[in-house]
Each structure stands twice: as C-alpha cells, then as structure tokens.
C-alpha cells in the first residue's frame, strides 16, 4: 500500500534536541522542490527567501503572521524587515544545519504569503 504524501505546510515542526545529522544534499534538493519558487539553500545549510510588498506596513503585517507561525511551531527564523521587503533565513540552530522542520516552516510561510496576497 502506497503511503499518502502529506504536504509540508500541513506537517508540524518537530523540536530538535541535537545529536541528529543535518539533511544531506539530495534530501535538501528533494524538499526544496516542494516549496514555492524563490527558496535557496546555501552551502552552510541555511534556507533563504525574500518577499516583496507594496509598502512597509504590508511587510510588517507579513512579519506578524510568520512570527505567529514560528511561535506556534516552536521553530524560529532570522527575519530581516525593510521597506517593502521581508527576508527570512531558516536553519536548525541546535545542529547548525537543515532538518525537515525548516522546510515545514518555509512551506507555512509560503502559504501565509499566498493567503495575504489574496486579501486574507
């Protein structure tokens, strides 16, 4: 019986206690394909993305939304906010690398952006 695929944005972040290895390159490439365009993984095992907005207030509201998601998931990004732009960097600090939770949070941020651009 084939296992049903659960979209990343529907999964829950799993707290990392350390002692687990970061995801390997092939797995990072598989997971990044499940995200909206614009996400980039660097050689230091971090995920990055930038979103653009009409003004500072709209960018600020997006930061509020993704901050709530981060708190709810217990997994927190580095966030850069400027006029009309929000940039996020994700990685699992305990292991200084990427875990599936980083991709789950990325997918939830994409969903929040999609919802905000539809007036939600």
- Among 2-11, 60-69, 86-95, name the one with the lowest average pLDDT: 2-11
pLDDT digits (tens, 9 = 90+) for 13-45: 666 666 788 999 999 999 999 999 999 999 889
pLDDT of residue 43: 81
- Provide the whole-model pTM: 0.86
Task: Measure the CA angle with vertex 117, ends 9 and 84; round to 5°.
Answer: 105
> Average pLDDT for residues 76-90, to the nearest whole number?
97
Query: For the chain, which domains are there?
Result: 44-120 (3.30.1360.20)
The pLDDT mean for the chain works out to 88
The HSE-up count of residue 36 (CA atoms within 13 Å, CB side) is: 14
């Amino acid at each position: 019986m084939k296992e049903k695929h659960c979209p990343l944005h529907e999964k829950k972040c799993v707290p990392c206690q350390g002692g687990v290895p970061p995801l390997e390159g092939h797995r990072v490439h598989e997971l990044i394909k499940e995200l909206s365009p614009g996400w980039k993984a660097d050689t230091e095992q971090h995920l990055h993305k930038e979103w653009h907005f009409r003004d500072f207030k709209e960018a600020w509201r997006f930061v509020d939304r993704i901050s709530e998601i981060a708190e709810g998931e217990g997994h927190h990004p580095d966030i850069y906010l400027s006029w009309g732009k929000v940039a996020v960097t994700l990685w699992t600090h305990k292991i200084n690398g990427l875990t599936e939770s980083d991709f789950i949070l990325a997918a939830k941020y994409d969903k929040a952006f999609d919802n905000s651009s539809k007036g939600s």
